Amino acid sequence: MNDLSHYSVLLVDDVEAEIDILVNALEDDYEVSVALDGISALEYVEEQLPDLILLDIIMPGMDGYEVCARLKENPRTLHIPIIFLTSKTEEQDEARGLDLGALDYITKPFNTMLVKARVRNHLLLKHHQDSLEEMVRERTRELQLTQDVTIEIMGTLAEYRDSETGGHVKRTKEYIKILAEHLRNHPGYAHFLNDTNIDLLYKSAPLHDIGKLGVPDSILLKPGKLTIREFEEMKKHCLYGLKTMQIAEEKLGSRSFLNLAGEIAYSHHEKWDGTGYPEGKQHEDIPLSGRLMAIADVYDALISKRGYKMPFSHEKAVEIIRAGKDRHFDPVIVDAFLELEEKFRRIALEFADHEEERKSLAFSS
């Protein structure tokens, strides 16, 4: 048997005798509150949402129809069950009340057993709906956690493969987030940079180099400059990354969260002027996700220590990216980067892997 004692009922009626009957019928089973007119009822629900409303139709000032209409227009009160209280002479208007969104009606004079049964039935229905909604919310939380953990695990695998870039995935996802948020109101980018996609960019960024898992250690971990042949093999990590995401998507569906991750992995080495890889795309043919990742990735590579180089200063990295405007990088994103460069430096400093990087960043003016 469901315990509904924690549910609340608001009685709205201007006749005190009728209120007394309803209170006596319901107060032992529910938390009961009273409003004597429509305005008072609306003021009450602004402060506290009842689980069900018993609403008289004929009242001075604002009648029950208008109260119901206002409650159903407000997203906050839209789903509160409403039972109209009506006299037998008002039966021709019952359909009007139901059309406004009321669930039921009770005729006067009240049969208290009928009142209790109707209220209980509708609260039981609400209880089941509330339980179902909570189950959906819990399932959504579980799916979100699964998504986040999947991304984190896959990104961590790439980190373990290349021990010198342990902080790279942490830094780049912070870079891409601040760039996306800065550009979200730009006319050319607002259609894509909504809350959902910015969150996905942030979470998917750690997977941009997941394809490096397919690159031989002799190339990936080589301390010096790569030969032309080795570099051609290294470039294949974009394709490996895309294929990895596509294999996962075959199980999760083409609209899964990995779709954007695959796009980033495949396109983040394309260049604005068409001289990048793997396809040599240019301008807006390069996905926005890849254009954002390009600046995040290059800036981080410049300020990071590698086996074949010491970290560049922040100022030098900014200078190189500025010089790459209209060539390597989307000019609009470069402008955003230049406005955010100090935030980039702070992120780089916070997640620096090596003391040499911290010194280089901290000594920047």
In a domain, 191, yes or no: yes
What pLDDT is attached to residue 365?
A: 46
Domain check: are 94 and 166 in the same one? no
Complete edge-to-edge strand list for the sheet that includes strand 104-108: 31-35, 8-12, 52-56, 82-87, 104-108
Domain check: are 87 and 186 in the same one? no
Distance separating alpha carbons of residues 305 and 317, to the nearest angstrom: 13
- Split at pLDDT 50, 70, 90, the class of 161 is low
Indicate whether 91 pLDDT > 60.
Answer: no
CATH number of the domain that residue 21 is part of: 3.40.50.2300
Question: Which of the residue ranges 130-134, 155-159, 170-174, 214-218 would you say has the lowest mean pLDDT?
Answer: 155-159
In a domain, 96, yes or no: yes
Mean pLDDT of 81-105: 76
Mean pLDDT of 212-233: 89
In a domain, 280, yes or no: yes
Average pLDDT over all residues of the chain: 87
Mean pLDDT of 186-215: 91
- Split at pLDDT 50, 70, 90, the class of 182 is very high
What pLDDT is attached to residue 262?
A: 92
- Split at pLDDT 50, 70, 90, the class of 146 is confident
Indicate whether 85 pLDDT > 80.
Answer: yes
Contact assessment for residue 354 and residue 182, using Cβ atoms and an 8 Å cutoff: no
What pLDDT is attached to residue 2?
A: 63
What pLDDT is attached to residue 183?
A: 97
Domain check: are 339 and 265 in the same one? yes
Domain check: are 228 and 99 in the same one? no
What pLDDT is attached to residue 300?
A: 93
Closest to 295 (Cα-Cα) out of 277, 313, 271, 316:
271
Q: Where is the domain boundary, 85, 115, 134? A: 134
pLDDT tens digits for 278-290?
999 999 999 999 9
Domain check: are 49 and 123 in the same one? yes
CATH number of the domain that residue 319 is part of: 1.10.3210.10
In a domain, 104, yes or no: yes
Instruction: Mention every residue, 6+ apart, whose C-beta is less than 8 A from residue 178.
Output: 340, 343, 344, 347
Q: Where is the domain boundary, 84, 119, 134? A: 134
Q: Where is the domain boundary, 85, 119, 134? A: 134
pLDDT tens digits for 252-264?
665 566 889 999 9
- Residue 231: left (phi > 0), alpha (psi -120 to 50), or beta? alpha
Half-sphere exposure of 333 (CA within 13 A, CB side): 31
Domain check: are 331 and 190 in the same one? yes
In a domain, 75, yes or no: yes
Distance separating alpha carbons of residues 92 and 69, to the nearest angstrom: 18
Q: Which domain holds residue 266?
A: 162-362
Domain check: are 47 and 182 in the same one? no
Question: Which of the residue ranges 150-164, 195-209, 272-286 would you say has the lowest mean pLDDT?
Answer: 150-164
Domain check: are 293 and 219 in the same one? yes
Indicate whether 143 pLDDT > 70.
Answer: yes
Domain check: are 91 and 179 in the same one? no
Other CB atoms closer than 10 Å to residue 136's CB: what's the count? 10
Name the domain count of the chain.
2
Q: Residue 6, SS3?
A: coil
What pLDDT is attached to residue 256?
A: 62
- Split at pLDDT 50, 70, 90, the class of 249 is confident
Domain check: are 357 and 238 in the same one? yes
Distance separating alpha carbons of residues 87 and 110, to the nearest angstrom: 9
Domain check: are 15 and 86 in the same one? yes
Mean pLDDT of 32-50: 93
In a domain, 238, yes or no: yes
In a domain, 90, yes or no: yes
In a domain, 231, yes or no: yes
Indicate whether 292 pLDDT > 90.
Answer: yes
What token pair was written down for 206? 């750690």
Question: Which of the residue ranges 123-137, 250-264, 277-291, 328-342 would you say has the lowest mean pLDDT?
Answer: 250-264
Domain check: are 342 and 247 in the same one? yes
Burial code of 291-307, b = ≥16 C-beta within 10 A, e = fewer? bbbbbbbbbbbbbbbee
What token pair was written down for 46? 């602004």
**325 or 256: which leads in pLDDT:** 325
